[in-house]
Each structure stands twice: as structure tokens, then as C-alpha cells.
Amino acid sequence: MEFRLALQPKRERKRALLTHWQHPRFHAYFTGGQSYPDIVAEALTSALATVNFCWDSSPAFTELEIVMVNWMGKIFNLPNEFLFNGNSETSLGGGAMQNGGSDAMLLAFLVARHKRITEICGNIDIHCRDKEHQVLNKLVAYASTEAHSSVEKAALVTLVHMRPVQADKNFQMRGKDLEKQVQKDLEKGNIPFVAFVTLGTTSTGAYDQLKEIIPVAKKYNLWIHVDASYGGNAWCCEEFHYQMDGLKDVDSININLHKTFLHNVPGTYFWTRNQRVLKESMTVDHAYLHARHHGSATDFRNWGISLSRRALCLKTWFILRTYGVRGMQEYIRRLTRLTTHFRKHLEKDPRIEIVGQQVFSLVCFRLKIDNNNNDECNEMTKALVEYINHSQKLCITFAKCNGMSICRFSIAHQEQYSREILFKAGGGVVGSPVFVTQNTLRSTSSYASLIHSRGYSPVRDQSSAPNESNTRGLSPRK
């Protein structure tokens, strides 16, 4: 069949079923990034189709990845200990790209687990793991109740106990709360081994109290992994560096460039100050993997689980070469400005309460209810999210934190401008004095009646109804 024909059938149907992540009014999740250099790098990577498991299998991309690990580390102002210093093999620190934040979390789990088990059992004999299994039975990992779901998933697949540490009212994990949990486990004879610290949580963009957590983690010999999947993107700008206080004392860090760095998924960087332990936990040897430079050059297969790896670093190279650090800083600042602008509009509306602190490109809010009944407020807030999403004019995300239902609104597009953010051209969705236009009411869903029954009426303003160009890509199937 000709390629032209492969593209043809049921084109209409495919379009209707596509969720338009790159639409300027898509504000759900953390909107994945995309950019021209990213697309070109993707095409070139596929065209070259190299498989980068060791230096000899792909010298250029191995060298480029090493350089990108250092460039990104420097751009994000990471402490020098996390970079490749001198020879990439003998350097204490360094990093590698991973297939997403969840893989980075799993990697941190595996490395920390390996470290603790070998500290107790000595060298590992892969043919007999009885001693290790006895230790495994007692291992405990810690993360905030606000940590990303991938931390729980990593605990699930690595068979270790997971202790959620209740986040405080600002959605942050505190040192003393972590310590209480650790002590409880020690009393039971368990073995604490790793703590996950989130800088920029997924639900509300909160920052755990790293400075308080570090002394606790050190006292109990916990590996500290910092999940800066989202928040770390902003560290290319000086004004966010205050969030990094204490980072030099953690063991590993990951940042997802596919959150707000114009990379498409996956664009995860993982750094550690202890590359020896990481590689020890990930290295296996077979004759067919031995190439000419085996042992003397960096083989990225020893930096994660995958053997076959894509040349993801090419995206970073193209993006940095195209926009430069300054261009990326401007972009990050623009996202922050737009989000702040939007939050200020929300703050003017007496029916809305901002939840958490907006520092970067995420703002969270909920409806206020006269009688302050939390259940009712939760129900209404959920209905609002469903109502907005049903309208297909705008897409946001529902989340729950500390028993509170919230609306999440994230911004991460090159094409987003304040006109899109405020939906002014369309008569005003969120952010203007009303939530929904008459047009969005074409979805006569049960959410709409719930919202209406509480007096959240739309503006009846025909003149400002959205036109086709405003709804481009998000219109429902006719």
C-alpha cells in the first residue's frame, strides 16, 4: 500500500478521537512540551536509528549525552558534584537520560535498595539471594502523601514497604514528620533506606522542606532522591534558585524536560553524585556486549534498565542550539507571568479560593461554598471540572489533596498568550467574572444543571461567542 493511502482512511474519525495536547487551551495535567527543534530531532533520530547501549554502538550520541547531562546540569544550576567531572568513567558524579520520570523514580529505588542491601549483606551472588531476601522483607521507603504516583508504583514493583508521610497544610513534607515515621519503623525492626523529596508536586506544585529532611535522612542513612520532574524546569532562571537550597546533600535528582522545556515526552535527566553505586546496581556482562572500548568508555546501558536506547539527547541539543539558554529563560518566565496573570484574575472572583501557592506554571483553585461544607465544596469543584471539560472548549484537571478537591490549571505552550488564557475572545471561561459562556452550555450535562442550581450562571453575550478559529482543534464531533 502506498503511504499516502495509509494516511487516508477514517481521517475524520482519528481527528475526533485525538486529545489535542498542543491546543492553546489545553491546561490539563502538566501539558507536554513540543517545539520545532524537538520535532526535527525526533525525525532525525528515527532516520539515523542508532541503538545507544554502549560507547562503541554509538560514539557520537554517547559523547553528546555526556555533554548534555553536564549542560543541563549547569543550566539548572545543579551542584558540581552531580556532573561528569573529568573522565566520565572515573568521575564521582554524572547522569543519563531515562525513559520518563517514572523510570527515574524506579531507578532511584533500585540503586538505593542495592546500596542498603549490599551494605548489610556484602557482595551479591546472583545465584543465591536468601540473605538479600531477608533484608528486602524489612526495607522501607518514605515519600510524602503528595508525592507522584510513580513513587508508589516503584514501591509496588520493587516489593518494598512504602510509608506515606502526611504532608502538612501547605502540601509539604516536613522533616519531623519523616523522622516520626522512620522511628516507628526502627522500633519494629524495619530498615529505612530511601526518602523521596518532591520539589514541585504534581497536584499543587508544592515544595517539600528539603532543608529539614536532609539531616533526618543523613541521621538514618537514607538515600535521598529529589523528584524535580516538574519544578526543576524553572531552575534555569535565577529567581527560582532559592528552591534548591540543600540540594548539594542529596544523592540523586531527576528533571523532566517534557514538562516545560519544549521537549516532547520522554525527556528525563537523572543525575547522581554516586555513579559508582548506580552502575554497580545496573551492570551485567555478556561477551556480546563487550566492544573495543569496554571498560574504558561510558556505556549508558549501565545507567538504567534499558539496553536499547534512543538518542534522546539530540532533542536537548537542538532545543538549546535553537533557543539558547536565554530563550529558554524567557519562555519559562513567560509561562510564570501568564500563570500569575491568570491567578490574579481568579483572585478577583469571590466565588473562588486559590489552593496552595502558585510559584511557577501551575495554579490550583476550588469553589467557595457559603456554609464551608467541605463535602459540598468537593462535589461542586468536581462538577465544575467536569462541566468545563465537557464543554470541550477548555481542558483542565481535577485533583485531590489533603481531602480537598481542586481544579488544576497548567500552562506550557509556545502558543499560549493571555488571550487564550483568559478566553476573552470567547466571552470568558475561567478567569473572567463568569466561568462559562453560553456556547459552552450547549453541553447540557448533569454537571451544568448542578452548577446552575448553585447560581453559577453563564453570561448571555452573543457578541462574544467563540468563533471557529478559537475552538480550532477542540470542537466536539458533529
Ligand X SMILES: *Cc1c(COP(=O)(O)O)cnc(C)c1O
The binding site for ligand X (CB under 6 A) comprises: 30, 100-102, 148, 150, 198, 200-202, 227, 229-230, 256, 266, 268
Given the complex with ligand X, which of 146 and 353 has the nearer CB atom? Answer: 146
Return all residues near 471 (Cβ < 8 A) that are at least 6 apart: 392, 393, 426
* d(C-alpha 243, C-alpha 235), whole Å: 8
* d(C-alpha 379, C-alpha 387), whole Å: 12
CB of 13 to ligand X, least distance (A): 28
* d(C-alpha 476, C-alpha 466), whole Å: 14
Given the complex with ligand X, which of 116 and 148 has the nearer CB atom? Answer: 148
- Which 3 state secondary structure label does DSSP give 30? coil
CB of 62 to ligand X, least distance (A): 23
Is the distance from CB of 177 to CB of 213 less than 8 angstroms?
no
CB of 223 to ligand X, least distance (A): 17
| 457 grid coordinates | 450562571
CB of 101 to ligand X, least distance (A): 2
Given the complex with ligand X, which of 198 and 440 has the nearer CB atom? Answer: 198
CB of 105 to ligand X, least distance (A): 6
Q: How many residues does the chain have?
A: 478
Given the complex with ligand X, which of 102 and 439 has the nearer CB atom? Answer: 102
| 5 grid coordinates | 493511502
Given the complex with ligand X, which of 192 and 232 has the nearer CB atom? Answer: 232
Task: Look up residue 31 and give its DSSP letter.
Answer: P
CB of 91 to ligand X, least distance (A): 26
Task: Look up residue 26 and give its DSSP letter.
Answer: B
Given the complex with ligand X, which of 140 and 154 has the nearer CB atom? Answer: 154
Is the distance from CB of 423 to CB of 432 less than 8 angstroms?
yes
* d(C-alpha 314, C-alpha 307), whole Å: 18
Alpha helices in 170-312, H assignment, sequence order: 175-187, 210-219, 257-260, 275-282
Name the phi and psi angles at 201, rounded to 5.
-75, 160
CB of 30 to ligand X, least distance (A): 6
Task: Look up residue 266 and give its DSSP letter.
Answer: P
CB of 322 to ligand X, least distance (A): 23
Given the complex with ligand X, which of 227 and 386 has the nearer CB atom? Answer: 227
- Which 3 state secondary structure label does DSSP give 207? strand
CB of 162 to ligand X, least distance (A): 15
Given the complex with ligand X, which of 94 and 200 has the nearer CB atom? Answer: 200
Given the complex with ligand X, which of 197 and 429 has the nearer CB atom? Answer: 197
Return all residues near 39 (Cβ < 8 A) that are at least 6 apart: 264
Given the complex with ligand X, which of 37 and 200 has the nearer CB atom? Answer: 200
Given the complex with ligand X, which of 60 and 156 has the nearer CB atom? Answer: 156
CB of 202 to ligand X, least distance (A): 4
CB of 435 to ligand X, least distance (A): 26
* d(C-alpha 266, C-alpha 97), whole Å: 9
* d(C-alpha 178, C-alpha 163), whole Å: 9
User: Which residues are registered as beta bridge partners of 408?
Assistant: 364, 397
* d(C-alpha 125, C-alpha 137), whole Å: 18
Listing DSSP states for 386-455 in one string gives: HHHHHHTS-B-EEEEETTEEEEEEE---TT--HHHHHTGGGT-STTSSSS-BTGGGGS--HHHHHHHHTT
Burial 105-128 (b: 16+ CB within 10 A, else e): bbbbbbbbbbbbbbeebeeeeeee
| 464 grid coordinates | 462574544
CB of 108 to ligand X, least distance (A): 11
| Peptide linkage before 466 cis (omega within 30 of 0) | no
Is the distance from CB of 70 to CB of 275 less than 8 angstroms?
no
Nearest residue to ligand X on Cβ basis:
101
Given the complex with ligand X, which of 83 and 147 has the nearer CB atom? Answer: 147
